[in-house]
């Protein structure tokens, strides 16, 4: 038995004698190798407390899973607990009274003081009540690089996006795909967002995403962004994979130079036995702008008309934020904990870079999911999917983007 599991078992025996052993179905979209290793930590901790974890993994991306999760809740077939991203994805479910109020757990465990940054708890709060348990902080603004690929091509590992672009011809000459990219709108939108932060900068990005300022979206800084995205599309033209983890695998195996992807990619490097700083490198803010967003995952608990289930849901919410689970889960997932009072000295070099940015307090951004409604996000993802799979010009893409931002909410 691992130490964390032992601790959980001991805590559960002492602290929770009143709660019956419970069987809860938990839905999520963690199906890659790294993600499965991380979710196993949650299941193990839950079962160590004498409960049963019924795993409801939904294969594919969040884009596939979310509509399934939401339609089950709306359609009267709710799971007991589910992953969603921090932000506005559950807004309508909360308004409809379909999610369990966790305020008593939040108060008993002092979440208002310990959850860091506070925006994560704010994203769970509606009209003063708490409806989700924040689980982790994931950021999207990372460029992951294969040392092997650059060594084979005989060039230095890039230190930023500009060097990455400059090194691409040498990689191509060596038969290596410069940029691995999964052909799905949400991944292409991550690349777009990463390039935006790196090239247009935080203020312009916030003006567009948070303030919905279409003039900034139409301006020269965004023209430079769209041109850079068109360059990225060129660098990824020989990348034929769909899933994000298959794109990460191209970097792990040195078939590609790099990937623009969230820090969950770390879970894949870890499962493959690769070491940050030795086998692969990571550049937050693409090495140009040391910023990260604080998106990630939270757990929501649909209302189920049964007191024992409700008690078990509250118990699980408490467990997810507990120090032991925060450490075990986040080390496996490559994400950062939602509380600052846990020991993450075991974190690898890349996680340490993320922790340093988080601790500095500068360079912390809201995630796209926090700033834009789901409807507007999906419109941008659809535009990106079309752009990356066609020869749409940068100018046309920018014009379409300006239209979306003009009516975004
Ligand atoms: C994100 C989620 C991460 C990771 C990623 C890829 O939405 O926050 O935990 O799983 O999707 O599946």
Q: Which residue has the tokens 């702008």?
A: 289
Ligand 1, atom 8: closest residue by C-alpha: 296
Least confident of 9-18, 218-227, 337-346: 9-18
Give CA–CA dist 241/182, Å, rounded: 5
Ligand 1, atom 11: closest residue by C-alpha: 62
Atom nearest to 244 CA in ligand 1: 6
Compute, in angstroms, the gap from residue 56 CA to the centroid of ligand 1. Answer: 15
Q: Which residues have CB under 8 Å from 75's CB, separation 6+?
A: none
**Are 153 and 109 in the same domain?**
no
**Are 152 and 272 in the same domain?**
yes
In a domain, 365, yes or no: no
**Are 259 and 121 in the same domain?**
no
Mutation test residue for ligand 1: of 39, 90, 138, the one with most atoms within 8 Å of CB: 138
In a domain, 24, yes or no: yes
Residue 371: the pLDDT is 84
- What φ, ψ does residue 25 adopt, rounded to 5°? -85, 130
Query: What tens digit of pLDDT does each residue of 237-273 get?
Result: 999 999 999 999 999 999 999 999 999 999 999 999 9
The overall average pLDDT reported for the chain is: 93
**Are 151 and 61 in the same domain?**
no
Strand partners, 23: 52
Query: What tens digit of pLDDT does each residue of 62-107 get?
Result: 999 999 999 999 999 999 999 999 988 899 999 999 999 999 999 9
**Are 189 and 211 in the same domain?**
yes
Compute, in angstroms, the gap from residue 15 CA to the centroid of ligand 1. Answer: 32
**Are 278 and 304 in the same domain?**
no
Residue 3: the pLDDT is 40
Query: What tens digit of pLDDT does each residue of 298-309 get?
Result: 999 999 999 999
Compute, in angstroms, the gap from residue 60 CA to the centroid of ligand 1. Answer: 10
Instruction: Decide if pLDDT at 5 tops 80.
Output: no
Confidence of residue 15 (pLDDT cuts 50, 70, 90): very low
In a domain, 364, yes or no: no
**Are 253 and 275 in the same domain?**
yes
Could you tell me the end-to-end alpha-carbon distance of the chain, in angstroms, rounded to an integer?
A: 48
Confidence of residue 19 (pLDDT cuts 50, 70, 90): low
What domain range is 98 assigned to?
3-137+295-356
CATH number at residue 74: 3.40.190.10
Compute, in angstroms, the gap from residue 62 CA to the centroid of ligand 1. Answer: 7
Percent of the chain with pLDDT over 90: 88
**Are 84 and 101 in the same domain?**
yes
Mean pLDDT of 29-50: 97
- Is the CB of residue 318 below 6 angstroms from any atom belonging to ligand 1? no
- Is the CB of residue 30 below 6 angstroms from any atom belonging to ligand 1? yes
In a domain, 362, yes or no: no
Q: How many domains does the chain have?
A: 2
In a domain, 361, yes or no: no
In a domain, 171, yes or no: yes
**Are 278 and 324 in the same domain?**
no
**Are 194 and 335 in the same domain?**
no
**Are 92 and 177 in the same domain?**
no
**Are 402 and 286 in the same domain?**
yes
């Amino acid at each position: 038995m691992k130490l964390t599991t032992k601790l959980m078992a001991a805590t559960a025996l002492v602290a929770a004698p009143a709660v019956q052993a419970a069987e809860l179905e938990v839905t999520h979209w963690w199906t890659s190798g790294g993600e499965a290793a991380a979710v196993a930590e949650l299941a193990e901790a839950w079962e160590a407390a004498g409960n049963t974890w019924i795993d409801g993994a939904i294969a594919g991306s969040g884009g596939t899973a979310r509509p399934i999760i939401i339609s089950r809740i709306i359609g009267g077939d709710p799971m007991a607990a589910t992953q969603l991203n921090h932000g506005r994805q559950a807004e309508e479910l909360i308004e409809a009274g379909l999610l369990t109020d966790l305020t008593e757990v939040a108060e008993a465990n002092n979440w208002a003081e310990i959850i860091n940054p506070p925006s994560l708890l704010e994203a769970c709060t509606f009209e003063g009540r708490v409806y989700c348990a924040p689980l982790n902080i994931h950021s999207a603004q990372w460029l992951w690089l294969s040392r092997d690929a650059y060594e084979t091509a005989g060039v230095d590992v890039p230190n930023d996006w500009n060097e990455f672009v400059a090194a691409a011809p040498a990689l191509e000459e060596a038969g290596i795909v410069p940029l691995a990219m999964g052909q799905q709108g949400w991944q292409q939108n991550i690349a777009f967002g990463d390039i935006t932060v790196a090239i247009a900068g935080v203020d312009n990005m916030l003006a567009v995403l948070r303030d919905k300022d279409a003039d900034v979206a139409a301006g020269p800084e965004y023209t430079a962004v769209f041109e850079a995205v068109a360059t990225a599309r060129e660098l990824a033209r020989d990348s034929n994979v769909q899933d994000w983890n298959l794109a990460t695998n191209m970097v792990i195996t040195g078939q590609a130079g790099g990937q623009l992807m969230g820090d969950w990619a770390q879970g894949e490097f870890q499962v493959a036995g690769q070491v940050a700083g030795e086998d692969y490198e990571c550049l937050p803010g693409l090495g140009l702008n040391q910023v990260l967003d604080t998106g990630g995952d939270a757990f929501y608990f649909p209302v189920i008309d049964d007191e024992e289930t409700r008690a078990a849901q509250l118990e699980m919410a408490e467990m997810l934020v507990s120090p032991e689970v925060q450490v075990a889960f986040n080390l496996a997932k490559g994400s950062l904990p939602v509380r600052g009072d846990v020991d993450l000295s075991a974190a690898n070099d890349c996680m340490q870079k993320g922790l340093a940015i988080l601790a500095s307090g500068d360079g912390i951004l809201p995630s796209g999911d926090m700033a834009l409604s789901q409807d507007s996000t999906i419109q941008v993802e659809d535009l990106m999917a079309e752009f990356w799979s066609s020869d749409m010009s940068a100018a046309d893409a920018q014009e379409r983007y300006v239209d979306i931002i003009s009516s975004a909410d």
